[in-house]
């Protein structure tokens, strides 16, 4: 019989983490990586329910989840966020699937449903929301750009029966704040990716030069943009 490790990353999640971990108590192993900046009871709660808990500085969603999966003992891993709950139907199908799956199957998607503003959202961009969460870590690679990475696997991907319940937003204010936070992270990642190509410090003055965008031939008067400092 195949064994499975559930992997969770968390930061200041004391209000939702117990519900999440209780929903995956059937797993052979639970691994939780806690953000070092977490200042509530997240680590304490994790240690009462998980087989392995580590505290680590947060370097990004992709890096944190990749590290968490590497700590798993078993090849089959099931990635769950702390604000999610695995329904009984999904839990049964996960356990049944890894017992019967063939070597060609490298991963499985689960459908996620979001609870927002006192209702389940079953339309629009919210639903269906298929996520590749169950996979063989020996055949998986984390890719993408923070804050939303993705897993790519070497092999076929199928779908599971059941849902992941996603309790993502406390209220509309929290929703807007989350969008802003994700946008800031994504903007920072994009800037880091392109800045070596487009932004070079000028050696002769405190300036920033844009050689690929603002060339002397195109906009000679705007070849330099002064720093505020």
For the segment 10-41, what is each residue's pLDDT rounded down to a tens digit?
999 999 999 999 999 999 999 999 999 999 99
- 108 close to 132: Cβ distance less than 8 angstroms: yes
Q: Is the pLDDT of residue 217 over 50?
A: no
Q: Where are the domains of the chain?
A: 4-167, 199-229
Distance CA 220, CA 152 (A): 45
Q: Which of 71, 16, 77, 66 is nearest to 46 (CA)?
A: 16
- 24 close to 30: Cβ distance less than 8 angstroms: yes
Strands (E), 146-215: 148-153, 156-166, 200-201, 207-209
> What's the whole-number average pLDDT of the chain?
84
Tens of pLDDT, residues 70-94: 999 999 999 999 999 999 999 999 9
Homologous superfamily of the 4-167 domain (CATH)? Spore Coat Polysaccharide Biosynthesis Protein SpsA; Chain A (3.90.550.10)
- 108 close to 85: Cβ distance less than 8 angstroms: no
User: What is the C-alpha end-to-end distance of the chain, expressed in Å?
Assistant: 63
What is the pTM assigned to this prediction? 0.78
Tens of pLDDT, residues 121-179: 999 999 999 999 999 999 999 998 877 789 999 999 999 999 999 998 876 686 677 67
User: Which neighbouring-strand residues pair with 134?
Assistant: 78, 108
Torsion sign across C-alpha atoms 186, 187, 191, 194: positive
* Residue 34, C-beta contacts closer than 8 angstroms, at least 6 positions apart: 9, 10, 11, 42, 43, 46, 53, 54, 55, 56
Question: Average pLDDT in the 40-59 region?
Answer: 97
DSSP 82: T
Question: Average pLDDT in the 88-108 region?
Answer: 95
């Amino acid at each position: 019989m195949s064994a499975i490790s559930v992997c969770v990353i968390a930061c200041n999640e004391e209000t939702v983490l117990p519900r999440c971990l209780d929903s995956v108590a059937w797993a052979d192993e639970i691994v939780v990586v806690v953000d070092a900046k977490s200042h509530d009871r997240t680590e304490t709660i994790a240690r009462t329910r998980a087989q392995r808990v580590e505290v680590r500085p947060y370097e990004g969603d992709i890096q944190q989840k990749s590290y968490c999966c590497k700590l798993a003992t078993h090849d089959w891993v099931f990635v769950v966020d702390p604000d999610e709950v695995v329904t009984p139907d999904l839990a049964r199908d996960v356990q049944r699937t890894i017992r019967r799956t063939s070597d060609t199957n490298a991963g499985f998607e689960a459908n996620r449903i979001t609870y927002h503003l006192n209702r389940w959202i079953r339309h629009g961009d919210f639903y269906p929301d298929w996520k590749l969460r169950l996979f063989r870590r020996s055949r998986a690679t984390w890719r993408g750009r923070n804050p939303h990475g993705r897993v790519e696997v070497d092999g076929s991907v199928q779908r599971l029966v059941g849902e992941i319940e996603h309790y993502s937003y406390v209220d509309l204010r929290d929703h807007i704040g989350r969008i802003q936070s994700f946008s800031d992270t994504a903007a920072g990642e994009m800037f880091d990716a392109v800045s070596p190509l487009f932004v070079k410090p000028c050696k002769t003055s405190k300036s920033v030069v844009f050689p690929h965008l603002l060339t002397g031939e195109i906009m000679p008067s705007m070849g330099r943009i002064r720093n505020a400092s």
